Structure 1
Amino acid sequence: MLKFTAAKIIMLGLLLLPYQASNATENYNLPLLNDGTSSIVSLDAEYRLGRNWARILRGQAPMLDDPITYQYLEDLLWRLLPNSQVQDRRLELFVLANPSFNAFAVPGGVIGVHGGLIQAAESEGELASVIAHELAHLSQRHYAQRLEEERRNRPLMLAGVLAGILVAAADTQGGMAVLSSTMGATTQNQLAFSRRNEQEADRVGMQTLVNTGIDPHTMPQMFTRLQRTYQFYGQRPPEFLLTHPVTESRIADSLNRASQMPRPQHSTTGIEFSLIKARMDVQFADSADAALRVFRNALEANATAYNRYGLMLAAIANNDFPLAERTRTEMPASLRQHPYVELSRAEALLKSERPADAEAATRNLLSLYPGSRPVRSLHARALRSNGKLNEALREYKSLTRTYPTDALLWFQLAETEGLAGNTLGVHEARIEYFMLTAQLDRALKQIEYARKAKGLPPAASSRLDQREQEAIALRQEMKAQF
């Protein structure tokens, strides 16, 4: 049985301490010109390894079920990507429901952002600087560079590196334990190697910022902010500071480099970052009551878009829907009509058990933003809540065709198929969900259940046969990789 438990992952990480310290979420040098690492690990092999690891990540780490925040980060990623040195642009973004400030890049184009990183940043540029840094690790193929040094230990070594990232993503405390032990066991030579590659990622990432029209000074600003935060953690710093060591010399180097680069003439940043930051501050607040108190006091002191939207979200979290609506109506028209605010109003309508109104609101938004992922997702939810199951099924099926690796969409589709009484549809959606979350034995079990359905159409039987073959082949592949 293929099963990846936290205990096994931690043990694997601890077995690989000397290497993991300098690799735990990225690392390693040299431009991609005349890339010699392809003889060790091809780009295609990296891609398959990364995407299979992503299946484990989906099954082990809590994903942030917030299409609005996901869409914002994906838009930011795709603003940066064309201006980066990344050649293989088959990227997949993961947003984790984790309040620690961390980000990581994994071979094969997997980019992970913890929700807490948005909280740590004070501007979109600071957030973008971290993402640009991680893109640089991918473009320079730092994982593959390390494999060049230690060919004989390659399979176990890389599995250990990925295990360390997974533990940090799924279990903040466990991740700290593994990574802290790793740092203690690292040799000075390996630390120096890590620093060289961190500097390389800083340099390449900063150029990506400039090419995108983002102030390069936001990178040293973010470093300084993270370093100041370090003192509050004592002997247990967050994963990002363990795996991306921020030193005075590194800050000075980035400041010097930024001073030699042009600053953008005009800022392209809107209010979206402030609104998303408010979403994360409510999401990770100690309690809904605490968030409400903070934003109520903040709005009385300063009527910013961040404070207005934050109070609206905090009121929704507290089920105080009259306050949420009053806060929305008192917003300036430009903010009140922002799609994030309109989507949050639809979320409030759903939560207050007004599905017909929620459906009408999302249908209106759909006419304005027909291709919007968060609008389509919320519209599907509204249709289901309003009892329009066939329409909801059409929307969820369309979404899964457009975003086939979104496990949460397959989960929602399975739930909707169940409400509609479509047993075969439930099994097929669950098969996809289990395949995407590395629960391959459970996927095979669902295939077995589906075959027992009476009057199974030949086309469905053929689909099940194909998925069974794919699940068995994937299980063998992942056993060999991990």
Structure 2
Amino acid sequence: MIAGLGSAWVPASAEGYNLPDLGQPADTAMSPAEEKKLGAQVVTQLRSQDRIIEDPELNEYLAEVGHRLLQATNRPSHDVQFYVIDTGDINAFALPGGYIGVNAGLIMATKTESELASVLAHELAHVTQRHIARQMADSKGDAIATMATALVAAIAGASAGAGQAASAAIMGGMSHLGMQQISYTRTHEYEADRVGIHTLADAGYDAHAMSRFFGTLQRQSDLYGRQPPQILLSHPVSSTRMAEAEARAAGYPDRAAHTNPEYAYMKARVRMLTANSPNQMRDYFARERAEHDSPDLDYGYALGLIRTSNERAAVDLLAAGQKTHPDIVAWPLARAEAWSQAGVYDKANEILEAASKRFPKDEAVALALARNRFDRGDYRSLRNQLIADRRLLDTYPSAQRLLAEAAAKTDDYGEAYYRQARYFAMIGDYPQAINQLRTALQTADLDQYNQERLSALRNQMVSACHAAWSPEKCERAVAQNADY
């Protein structure tokens, strides 16, 4: 039983969590910087295997849910990044250093935004409570070497099982430490439930969503005799755990749960983005529309039309949807996508310019507008837009790459190499960034400003590569063996 749970139980918001000290000895086993380094290495490997869905619209939505939850924690300044993993398995995971992955299959399996938020809140608790570092401290010993072995296993297994393989390898890679390890894991799972439910409620979501979602998955697997979803294997759910989660949720007042109206649209979007057959997915939405009257189904069907080269039909459907639901940014973004795919870039630009005024802080709109300017050959406006939007350049690797492509179109090769190197650095591929800069300095016709600029960036990339991996590994990874 969790301390404090019983007939006289007090809501977590009143009892201050009863959380442990998160400094020593966790810092002795693994410092926050070491956690960040390990997590970043796994993310880099997942990216290199195309396991992370790089969709600005979907990523921005997930980040908004995550930020809302983070602001409700007692560590709102914590650096946390959220990723959608391209697999239909129902699971989510937290890596060292604040990297949280949620599988596409889990998003599709949820019925409400509160259910999705409940899983993110649980994983966020693993991060804020530093469970991996504490687990290593509890193991009293061979810590970093063992974690390094687990990391290798995570990277090797990521392509086969995506997020859950990485997470399971890290947590399970220390199984030789004995049965005591399992107890620590179970304790942390209960703590993540407890802290997660508190966060969920404080963020305005339905506090019952966590136990409801896990219970639904458990009943479905029992009823149909299927292999349990991966999330039930990596996060074992017992009747006691479910009862305690529900009892904690009952301590919060009933109220209308927060729901972002984009939630249903993003479910439809992730379904289309991960579809093996666009034709089959288009037909799926067509059947669903015939049985249910719901705007997100119209949106999903329109995406299917776009991906099966029926842009004109999609445009008509999307125009009607945008007129009816003017406050949903998914409609104009999809409309602009349809016109762009049809080659009518000026019409797409008109839609995006209007959307940027209605949704001035939406980064997916800003990126779509930049892409449209590239498609129309308006490279000067593209550069002015991205240079003025530092957050966009610092957040989205695709913005750096777009700027590099635009610079190359105007024969500004110093800028092109600089931005391409920044792109590779943002996705964690420092050796490739170094090679880009070495190539530029050796072969490009550069003025003194660009020579100094690219030389300085090369030195920064070398230092970053050494810090992220090791000097020896970086040297091996760089294709040429010159003294950089």
Asked if these proteins are the same fold (TM beyond 0.5), I'd say yes
Q: How many angstroms does 1:109 deviate by?
A: 2.0
Q: Using the alignment, how far apart are the partners of 2:433 and 2:121 within structure 1?
A: 36
Report what 1:339 is aligned to.
Answer: 329
Task: Give me the TM-score of the superposition, normalised by structure 1.
Answer: 0.84
Higher RCO (CA 8 Å, separation ≥ 6 residues): 1
**Aligned residue type for 2:81:** E
Q: Using the alignment, how far apart are the partners of 2:168 and 2:130 within structure 1?
A: 22
Q: How many angstroms does 1:102 deviate by?
A: 2.5
Aligned partner (choices 101, 107, 130) of residue 141 of structure 1: 130
Q: Please give the secondary structure, in 2, of the residue aligned with 1:171.
A: helix
**1:159-210 CA distance string (max 9 Å, x none):** 3444455556543279659959959967543222211110100000000011
Report what 1:210 is aligned to.
Answer: 201
Unaligned runs of 5+ in 1: 1-28
Q: Please give the secondary structure, in 2, of the residue aligned with 1:112.
A: strand
Q: Summarize the alignment of residues 81-480 of structure 1 with structure 2, pairs less than 5 Å apart.
A: 81-86=70-75, 88-150=77-139, 152-166=141-155, 169-172=158-161, 179=168, 188-228=179-219, 230=221, 239-263=230-254, 265-331=255-321, 333-335=323-325, 338-399=328-389, 401-453=391-443, 455-480=445-470
Query: Structure 1 pair 94/160, CA: closer, same or farther in 2 (3 Å)?
Result: farther
Q: Using the alignment, how far apart are the partners of 1:441 and 1:98 within structure 2?
A: 28
Q: How many angstroms does 1:236 deviate by?
A: 6.6
Q: How many angstroms does 1:221 deviate by?
A: 1.3
Query: Structure 1 pair 301/392, CA: closer, same or farther in 2 (3 Å)?
Result: same
**1:216-255 CA distance string (max 9 Å, x none):** 1100111123324546998976543332222333222212
Aligned partner (choices 35, 41, 44) of residue 30 of structure 2: 41
Q: Please give the secondary structure, in 2, of the residue aligned with 1:85.
A: coil
Q: Is the 8 A contact 1:399 1:409 kept in 2?
A: no
**1:353-403 CA distance string (max 9 Å, x none):** 111111111111112222320011000111111111222233344456544
Q: Is the 8 A contact 1:206 1:216 kept in 2?
A: yes
The root-mean-square deviation of aligned C-alpha atoms, in Å, is 3.1
- Overall identity of the aligned pairs, in %: 27
Q: Using the alignment, how far apart are the partners of 2:76 and 2:151 within structure 1?
A: 22
Q: Is the 8 A contact 1:86 1:135 kept in 2?
A: no
Unaligned runs of 5+ in 2: 1-17, 474-484
Query: Structure 1 pair 336/430, CA: closer, same or farther in 2 (3 Å)?
Result: same
**Aligned residue type for 1:135:** L
Query: Structure 1 pair 414/98, CA: closer, same or farther in 2 (3 Å)?
Result: farther
Q: Please give the secondary structure, in 1, of the residue aligned with 2:84.
A: strand
Q: Please give the secondary structure, in 1, of the residue aligned with 2:325.
A: helix
Q: Is the 8 A contact 1:51 1:108 kept in 2?
A: yes
Task: Give me the TM-score of the superposition, normalised by structure 2.
Answer: 0.84
Q: How many angstroms does 1:316 deviate by?
A: 1.4
**Aligned residue type for 1:216:** A
Q: Using the alignment, how far apart are the partners of 1:280 and 1:31 within structure 2?
A: 37
Report what 1:13 is aligned to.
Answer: none
Q: Is the 8 A contact 1:168 1:174 kept in 2?
A: no
**Aligned residue type for 2:83:** F
Q: Is the 8 A contact 2:333 2:352 kept in 1?
A: yes
Q: Is the 8 A contact 1:100 1:116 kept in 2?
A: yes
Q: Is the 8 A contact 2:98 2:127 kept in 1?
A: yes
